[in-house]
Amino acid sequence: MDEQAEIRVMLVDDDEYSTAPVNLLLQQTYKTLCVDSGEAALAQFDAFRPDVVLLDIDMPGLNGYETCRRLRTREDVTADQQPAVIFISSHDTLEERLQAYDSGGDDFINKPAVPDEVLRKVQTVVKMLSQQKRLHAEKQSTYKALIDVLTDLGEHGLVIHALRSSLACQSMPELAALIIDVLGNYGLTAHVQLRPPGECLTFVNEGCVTPLEESVFDHVKNFERIFQFRRQLIVNFPHVSILVRNMPVADSDRCGRLRDYLAMIGEGCEQGAQALIHTAQIKERTHKLEATAIAVERAIHALREQYQQQQQQTLSITQSLNQRLVQQVFLLGLSEQQEQQIEELFDSEIDKMLELFNHGLDFDSQLNDLVMLLKHND
């Protein structure tokens, strides 16, 4: 049986003209149900059990935000039974996106919704849901063991653990996993964005980051060091942003302590990120220096070979010239004194040339020392 055909999509919008073309496209792949209000969506949820809900924000009665909140807080719907919620709105402001995210949304589409775009969004969240359900099952099996190991660590101990461990991390994903795990032991759901040069890496506590989460990080990463919106709190550093979704705002004392802890943990994460960046830069420079040393070594070998060839050619020419000179002197019929003067002159010039060769041997020795130095530094 086609797995896509088993996926159920509920469209919640009081404007049937907006819903009709989207429904027409989606029902070719998925099983769909259209309702015209938030109340109707909640009433028919049990019977239809949607995997994805396309939820209009501006509706009479229950708006999209409240509908999503009630759906997310239903005690009879477990985490792995919750549908993905894609909000649809004609307004695209940071406040709207934060409210959509705060109420439990997974993505956001601007009106008027283009059917092809909606189809792509639904396909993306369906894939994300599948991964999240698998990860949720794995998390449930290991959660109790993790809690047992860390119950003896107090709140300060967790901060110290985060600060010590952040500098020992070997990669950005390892650093993000450390922070998410540490905050999880405070009972906080945290997402982490790390920004090494030329990259923007977002990590969530359960698998895939949603487009809405990416857009929220993009909006708030340049805000002040600590920024809070209702239950959500952002801690910003140059290379790190930490988003906590469930600050205990009802407990002001604990909320204040957690803000202090989050600031310290965020600073430790920033130091860990900087250490990883510096390590990567050192490795890159070392690689370039090694490549340069190899190129210089090759050039020195080539230069030495050329120089040695020139020495051999010069000696050969000198020897040939000497033989020809002896022959020519004999044929010219010069006196013995004239022959001796010519030979002395020629011998003097050869001595000068040999002296140059001796200097050349020093040059060759220096080249050899340079090659050995490069190999030693390698």
Name every residue whose Cβ is closer than 8 Å to that of residue 85 and which is 6 or more positions away in sequence: 52, 53, 55, 68, 71, 104, 105, 106, 107
Residue 171: the pLDDT is 92
Name every residue whose Cβ is closer than 8 Å to that of residue 21 and which is 6 or more positions away in sequence: 115
Residue 71: which pLDDT band, with cuts at 50, 70 and 90? very high
Sign of CA dihedral 35, 36, 41, 42: negative
CA distance 273 to 240: 8
Four-point Cα dihedral 329, 333, 334, 337, nearest 10: 100
Tens of pLDDT along 87-133? 998 888 888 889 999 999 999 999 888 999 999 999 998 888 778 77
Global pTM value: 0.57
Alpha helix segments (H runs only) across the chain = 16-26, 38-43, 45-48, 64-72, 94-102, 115-150, 155-166, 172-184, 211-220, 252-332, 336-377
Name every residue whose Cβ is closer than 8 Å to that of residue 31 and which is 6 or more positions away in sequence: 5, 6, 7, 8, 9
Residue 122: the pLDDT is 92
3-state secondary structure of 196: coil
What mean pLDDT is predicted for residues 140-155?
56
DSSP string, 167-186: TT--SHHHHHHHHHHHHHTT
Residue 4: which pLDDT band, with cuts at 50, 70 and 90? low
Tens of pLDDT along 351-361? 776 666 666 55
Residue 372 confidence (pLDDT) above 90: no
